[in-house]
Amino acid sequence: MTADPPWALLAELTHRCPLRCGYCSNPVELAGRSAELTADEWAGVFRQAADLGVVQTHLSGGEPLLRRELPDIVAAAERSGLYTQLVTSGVGLGERRLGELVEAGLHSVQLSVQHADSDTSDRIAGARSFAAKERAARLIRAAGLPFGLNIVLHRANIDALDDLIALGAAWGADRVELAHTQFQGWALRNRATLLPTRDQVDRARTTLTRWRERPDPVPELIWVTPDYIDGVAKPCMGGWGALSLTVAPDGTVLPCPAAAALPGLDPPNVRDRQLSWIWRESRAFNAYRGDSWMRGPCRSCALAATDHGGCRCQAYALTGDATRTDPACRLSPDHALVRDLVDSARPPAGNPVHPYREGAP
């Protein structure tokens, strides 16, 4: 089918990261430093992306600050006319480093935090990092950059939502994104200790509503639906191969960051193919584009126009078949798989024990 141009590019500059979060949704097998695209190769990616129609790029990882040539990468995106957002843990973002990035053309920053309590945040991250995040927030605000705070919610921090939103306001965030854990990659291995209970999510919604109803200015609050609990499939990536593309650290191009786990896609690489061909012609981007691949109940469901059948990677992770209706949807014949997981979730009892993320080679 004919594809409209994409407008967003997720540029995963590296899988290396100073943190070891148990909820990391990056692949279990990480790309090593030796496989990473060079700064010149990223410049070529940005030129091709702009020619294709992309207008903004999220510079992510891993931790993009571990790329020493990051200012050159930002400058290359700026020369191609792309709006750039740095997605970072804040570890390694000092005044000089940020100044170099701003001079190169950086437009905005999204900073992650794991908890409002410094010790708990460090424990969840698997590394001492809260102080660096707090300092990074001050520097970002002083530089006058638009600033978003990203919080991945799970069993160990969702009950601290009130304090987390207050932290975002105190740090001067323009928006706070409350993103429930995506059970892909490493996070899927730790789902049993990460999945919150229904009661926890209900309390969090009440907290969110209270903050949104406050008369005084607060950050914009973005609530990413907890699809396991709501029984509603999310329109993952706005539809497969519909709005955006992801370039992994080694140049593999994917419709979404988790798609490499799906069998039979044969995802192409920017070292071998042009982005325009990849977007329009490759099997990877056409496999689940549109609705011709859908089975029942999606095929005859009015929701398919907005949820696009849900997440293909989640369908595969839970059923072994990427063409099945996302089991998060209450209309899915496999919804019991998700419902049973949620029903078996228990409130947190002490510090959760799960394997920390191991770093990329």
Angle at which helix 335-344 crosses helix 312-319, to 10 degrees, equals 80
Query: What tokens does 238 get?
Result: 């706005």
CB neighbour list of residue 197: distance below 8 Å, 6 or more residues apart: 155, 342, 345, 346, 347
d(CA 227, CA 215): 30
Domains and CATH numbers, the chain: 8-224 (3.20.20.70)
Query: What tokens does 112 get?
Result: 């992650």
CB neighbour list of residue 172: distance below 8 Å, 6 or more residues apart: 137, 141, 147
DSSP 236: G
**What integer pLDDT is reported at residue 353 of this predicted model?**
59
DSSP 79: H
Query: What tokens does 231 get?
Result: 């029984």
- Whole-model pTM: value is 0.95
Q: Would you say 24 is a known binding-site residue?
A: yes
Query: What tokens does 184 get?
Result: 């892909």
Query: What tokens does 11 get?
Result: 């540029």
Query: What tokens does 73 get?
Result: 């990468």
Report the b/e string of 154-164 with b at 16+ CB within 10 A: bbbbbbbbbeb
Q: Among 74, 70, 120, 121, which Cα is nearest to 93's?
A: 70
Strand partners, 244: 8
Q: How many residues does the chain have?
A: 361
As separate numbers, helices (DSSP H) first and strands (DSSP E) second, the chain gives 15, 9
Q: Would you say 311 is a known binding-site residue?
A: no
d(CA 223, CA 178): 5
**What integer pLDDT is reported at residue 1 of this predicted model?**
62
d(CA 45, CA 51): 10
d(CA 243, CA 7): 6
**What integer pLDDT is reported at residue 350 of this predicted model?**
66
d(CA 86, CA 59): 5
- What is the CA angle 36-39-43, rounded to 5? 115
Strand partners, 246: 10, 254
**What integer pLDDT is reported at residue 361 of this predicted model?**
61
Q: Would you say 329 is a known binding-site residue?
A: no
Mean per-residue pLDDT pooled into runs of 10, the chain (361 residues): 90 96 90 94 99 98 97 99 99 98 99 98 97 99 98 97 98 98 92 95 98 94 93 88 97 95 95 98 95 90 90 95 95 95 85 70 61
Q: Is the dihedral of CA 353, 122, 149, 355 positive or negative?
A: negative
